[in-house]
């Protein structure tokens, strides 16, 4: 069976697999750790402070360089979104080139609709939100991969084995966060790995090192003395799309309700 036949025959399966049975369960960091037991001394988690992010894009550039993502393409493993909420309740979101070059103008990039200008007096609030793979504890992408090329490490990071990936894109369709893309050079799925090649050697991720404002942090949830763990366990954090039941491990401080 070739790839075309495989996709045709299997496309009806993916929709069902992409929705986990635990979709209605809400996430709790303490409950999650208790459920996981002590099988690994490390469980990586990421903390984003939306109030500290200024949208400079240094993190995006660093990620591209570190992970050999073509600089001129729109492919990014991480990106930053700008949210502008007007006094009338309208929300505009843009992320030109993933914010690789930061946000150099007040005009909001609306894609094919062109640019939109919102007068300062009409702005209720504006803020930046970094996005990356959520390294879910219940990852839909792993569930749908037909060849096991997408897998989860014992310390919770979801990786892609390029040698086994057949480029079927099931994982890209299954991810509710849109963090996966297709690498045109390798013809495989592409995603953030928390810079696993770095953190497994005791280093920080490239984006964390590049952020001059401390908006991005990574920590070990199994270390109660880790500052990131302490913040997450305080309960003052939010996650994206928790209604999907994927149990994301990227936590946000000051997450506004407008964030999708």
- For residue 18, tell me if it sits in a domain: no
- For residue 239, tell me if it sits in a domain: yes
- For residue 208, tell me if it sits in a domain: yes
pLDDT in tens, 16-47: 333 333 333 445 666 656 555 557 899 999 99
Residues 228, 214 contacting (CB under 8 angstroms) = no
- For residue 123, tell me if it sits in a domain: yes
DSSP state of 209: H
Q: Which residues contact 220 (CB under 8 A, 6 or more apart)?
A: 42, 43, 44, 45, 226, 228, 229
Q: Based on the structure, what is the number of domains in the chain?
A: 1
Tell whether the torsion through CA atoms of 122, 126, 131 and 136 is positive or negative: negative
Domain around 215: 29-259
Span 224-239, mean pLDDT?
95
pLDDT in tens, 120-177: 999 999 999 999 999 999 999 999 999 999 999 999 999 999 999 999 999 999 999 9
pLDDT exceeds 60 at position 87: yes
Which domain CATH number covers 172? 3.30.70.20
- For residue 5, tell me if it sits in a domain: no
């Amino acid at each position: 069976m070739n790839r075309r036949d495989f996709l045709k025959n299997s496309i009806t399966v993916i929709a069902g697999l992409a929705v986990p049975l635990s979709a209605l369960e809400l996430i709790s960091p303490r409950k999650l750790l208790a459920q996981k037991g002590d099988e690994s001394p490390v469980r990586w988690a990421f903390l984003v402070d939306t109030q500290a992010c200024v949208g400079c894009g240094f993190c995006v550039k660093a990620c591209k360089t570190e992970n050999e993502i073509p600089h001129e393409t729109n492919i990014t493993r991480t990106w930053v979104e700008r949210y502008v909420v007007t006094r009338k309740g309208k929300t505009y979101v843009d992320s030109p080139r993933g914010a690789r070059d930061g946000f150099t103008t007040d005009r909001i990039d609306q894609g094919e609709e062109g640019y939109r200008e919102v007068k300062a007096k009409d702005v209720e609030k504006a803020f930046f939100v970094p996005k990356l793979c959520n390294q879910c504890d219940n990852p839909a992408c792993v569930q749908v991969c037909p060849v096991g090329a997408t897998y989860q490490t014992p310390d919770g990071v979801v990786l892609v084995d390029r040698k086994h990936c057949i480029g079927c894109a099931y994982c890209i369709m299954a991810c509710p966060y849109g963090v996966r893309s297709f690498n045109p050079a390798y013809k495989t799925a592409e995603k953030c790995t928390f810079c696993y090649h770095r953190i497994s050697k005791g280093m920080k991720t490239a984006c964390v090192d590049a952020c001059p404002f401390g908006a991005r942090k990574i920590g070990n949830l199994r270390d109660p003395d880790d500052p990131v763990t302490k913040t997450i366990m305080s309960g003052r954090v939010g996650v994206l799309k928790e209604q999907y039941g994927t149990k994301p491990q990227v936590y946000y401080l000051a997450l506004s309700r407008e964030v999708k």
